[in-house]
Amino acid sequence: MIETVSTARAFGGTQHVLRHHSTTTGTGMVFSAFVPDHAEGKRLPVLWYLSGLTCTHANATDKGEYRRACAEQRVIFIAPDTSPRGDGVPDVPEWDFGQGAGFYLDATEQPWAGHFRMRTYIEQELPALIAEHLPVDMTRQGIAGHSMGGHGALTVALRNPERFRSVSAFAPIVSPLRCPWGEKALTGYLGPDRNTWRAYDATALIQDGARVPELLVDQGDADGFLHEQLKPWLLEKACRAAGIPVTLRMQPGYDHSYYFISTFMADHIAWHGERLRN
């Protein structure tokens, strides 16, 4: 069952914030959904947007500036949370691990394994819920994300290529095996066996044979995390070797914030819209 937290009219559509109990995470989960106006019985393509470290559904919903473009492209926009939350959900004081840092994986290490199952939530439970309750055409799905959510978008799409017609990312963590954020998260959630990490690393998935039709990535060249954490050139190299068309746009002067994301969000939505129509 879905509970409505709020609704608001915007750009000829309705912005919903919704809550439900997740059997996957064992917690309440909140997500937002922008639905453009449409004829009764009409089903629209859907774009999933996965947020980054420390974020909830609200970061993109409040600062993403996607509604006008989604209304023009006739695309539903879904923004989930980044992790389970609430009483009884384990956490740590650090901002880059625990609540707000689910890394879109299914944890196997304790105490995380009981609740931190964001891979199954994003890949299975939430899509089934959306298909039941919103006017989505599940044959026309795209996925995008930012930072940790860019990692999520890339890896979810690479593991489920039959599901997504389009994939893009803003400043993604392209190789958690080769950056401090990723090494911390994957060790903590999955344990020390690096072979088990490969299912959650876009470059490793590509090296292991996973494919998508093409990728669009925007990256600010003034992003303070660029060289230590993000390393988009590793994704570009893996794609070139695998024959995956990739457009990596280095944006001069842009940082890691929603000022950057909101600047190029309409470009991404138009890019997805073209592929979701065809």
CA 267 to chain centre: 17
106-122 burial string, b = 16+ CB within 10 Å, else e? bbeeeebeebbbbbebb
Residue of 146, 166, 223, 272 with catalytic role = 223
Residue in 115, 151, 256, 268 annotated catalytic:
256
147 belongs to the catalytic site: yes
Query: How far apart are alpha carbons 124 and 276 in whole angstroms?
Result: 20
The contacts of residue 211 (CB under 8 Å, 6+ apart) are 158, 161, 242, 244
Q: Is 87 a catalytic residue?
A: no
Q: How far apart are the first and last CA of the chain?
A: 33
Around Cβ 200, how many Cβ atoms within 10 Å? 27
Residue 126 · residue 120 · CB < 8 Å: no
Residue 62: active-site member: no
Please say whether the dihedral angle defined by the alpha carbons of residues 120, 277, 273 and 58, taken in this order, is positive or negative.
negative
Buried b (16+ CB within 10 A) or exposed e, 39-63: eeeeebbbbbbbbbbebbbebbbee
CA dihedral sign of residues 263, 203, 49, 228? negative
H helical segments located in 160-253: 180-190, 202-207, 232-242
Q: Which of 147, 166, 168, 175 is catalytic?
A: 147
By annotation, the residues acting in catalysis are 147, 223, 256
